[in-house]
Amino acid sequence: MQKNAQQQQIIQQIQQFNVIIIHRHENADPDALGAQGGLAEIIRANFPDKKVYVVGHPTADLDWLNQMDQITDQTYQGALVIVTDTANTPRIDDQRFNTGEKLIKIDHHPNDDAYGDVQLVDPQASSTSELIFDLLQAAADWQLPASAARLLYAGIVGDTGRFMYANTSAHTLNVAAELVKADFDPTQINQQLNTLSPQQARLSAYVLQNITILPSGAAYIVLTADTLNKLQISVAQAHAIVSLPGRISGVSAWSIFVEQAPDNYRVHLRSNAPVINQLAKAHAGGGHELASGARAYSQTEIETIIHQLDQIVQKSK
C-alpha cells in the first residue's frame, strides 16, 4: 500500500511540474542510465510540452546507451528533480540536484540515506529500471515508447547479470517480457552489453591470471593506476570485469580494488552467497547484500578489507 501511495505522489509531481531534471549516480552503469533515460523518455512521450533533462558526466563505453544534456544552473529554478538508482547523496552525479523546487528519490538500494521530499525505494526490486516500469503501470494511462523500453530493458539486464543473479524474480521476468514487446532489438542490447573492448579483454586476462583466492573462497585483486595505464584502460572501463571472479569455481565472495588516485581505491565487493554490504558500510560505502561498493584510503585499509572479507566467508560456511 505504501509503495502505491509513493507512486501516486510521484505521478502527481510529474504532472504538476513543467521542468523536470533527472539525475543518477556517478560512474553510471546500465541500470543508472536505463532508469534515468527510460523515465525521461516516458515523460517526454506522455507530456510533450514539458522540458525534461538528463544530467551527469559522460559514461565512456556506455555512451551508446544514452546521451546527457548540458543545462545551466538557472534551469533548476522551479524545477522538479528526480534522482534514480542512487543510495546516498555523495554519489549523485552533479551536485546541483538539491537546487530545484522539489526532490524525488527512486532507488532499489537499502534506504540508509533517506533524502528527498518523496522516496520510492524498494530493495527487493531487481533494479531501478524495474521500479520505473512499475511507476508507468501505476499511472494507468501513460504510454510506453520504444525508446524507453529499450533503456529500461538494458537497465534490468545490466543489474541482473542477464537474469543470472539472485535478484531476478518472477516479476522481473514479467517486466522484461512486457518490455521486449516494444519496437527495439533486445538481442542488440544483450550483445552490446556483453562486448568487451580489446583493453577490457586484456584486463580480464590480467585478473584471471593474478587474482588471489584464499582457502576460505574469498578472493581479491588490486588494480593499481600503473596497471590500468599499462593496459590502457580507465577506471570506468574497469567496471566490466567486476563480476568475472564469480565465475571461478570455489570463489564465494571477492573484492576488486581499483586505484582512482594515490591512496584512494574504489572497492567493488561481490558475493555468490555471503552477505557483504555491512563490510561495505564499514568502509565508506554500502549497497546490496551481494553487491556493494566501498572505499579504501591506504594499503592498511586494503589489507583490513581483505581480512574482514575472509572472515565473513569463513563464518558463512
pLDDT tens digits, one per residue of 82-106: 999 999 999 999 999 999 999 999 9
Q: Look up the pTM and report it.
A: 0.91
User: If you average pLDDT over every residue of the chain, what do you get?
Assistant: 95
We report the CATH number of the domain holding residue 22 as: 3.90.1640.10
Of 172, 193, 214, the residue that ends a domain is 193
pLDDT at 141 over 70: yes
What b/e readout covers 247-260, taking b as 16+ CB neighbours within 10 angstroms?
eeeebbbbbbbbbe
Residues counted in the chain: 317
DSSP E strands: which ranges in 183-224? 212-213, 218-223
Mean pLDDT, rounded, for 128-133 = 98
Query: Residue 2: pLDDT band by 50, 70, 90 thresholds?
Result: confident
Looking at the structure, do residues 163 and 252 belong to the same domain, yes or no?
no
Residue 3 pLDDT: 86
Q: Nearest CA to 281 among 271, 265, 263, 295?
A: 295
* Domains identified in the chain, total number: 2
Task: List strands edge to edge, sheet with 102-107.
Answer: 51-54, 19-23, 80-84, 102-107, 118-121
Looking at the structure, do residues 179 and 226 belong to the same domain, yes or no?
no
Expressed as residue numbers, the domain containing 290 is 198-316
pLDDT in tens, 165-199: 889 999 999 999 999 999 999 999 999 999 999 99
pLDDT at 310 over 80: yes
Query: Residue 60: pLDDT band by 50, 70, 90 thresholds?
Result: confident
Cell numbers of 186, please?
A: 533486445
Looking at the structure, do residues 183 and 305 belong to the same domain, yes or no?
no
274 touches 312 (CB < 8 A):
yes
Of 193, 219, 247, the residue that ends a domain is 193
Mean pLDDT, rounded, for 110-139 = 96
Residue 61 pLDDT: 83
Looking at the structure, do residues 250 and 173 belong to the same domain, yes or no?
no
pLDDT in tens, 252-263: 999 999 999 999
Looking at the structure, do residues 168 and 203 belong to the same domain, yes or no?
no
Low-confidence winner among 1-5, 210-214, 231-235 (lowest mean pLDDT): 1-5
In the block, which residue shows the cell 560505502?
A: 285
Task: List strands edge to edge, sheet with 253-261.
Answer: 212-213, 218-223, 253-261, 264-271, 291-296, 286-287
Mean pLDDT, rounded, for 113-121 = 96
Looking at the structure, do residues 188 and 207 belong to the same domain, yes or no?
no
Percent of the chain at pLDDT exceeding 90: 88
The Cβ-side half-sphere exposure at 15, using a 13 Å CA radius, reads 10
Percent of the chain at pLDDT exceeding 70: 100
Of 144, 168, 193, the residue that ends a domain is 193
Looking at the structure, do residues 54 and 41 belong to the same domain, yes or no?
yes
Residue 237 pLDDT: 86
Looking at the structure, do residues 17 and 159 belong to the same domain, yes or no?
yes
Looking at the structure, do residues 132 and 262 belong to the same domain, yes or no?
no
pLDDT in tens, 271-281: 999 999 999 99
Looking at the structure, do residues 177 and 203 belong to the same domain, yes or no?
no
Residue 1 pLDDT: 55
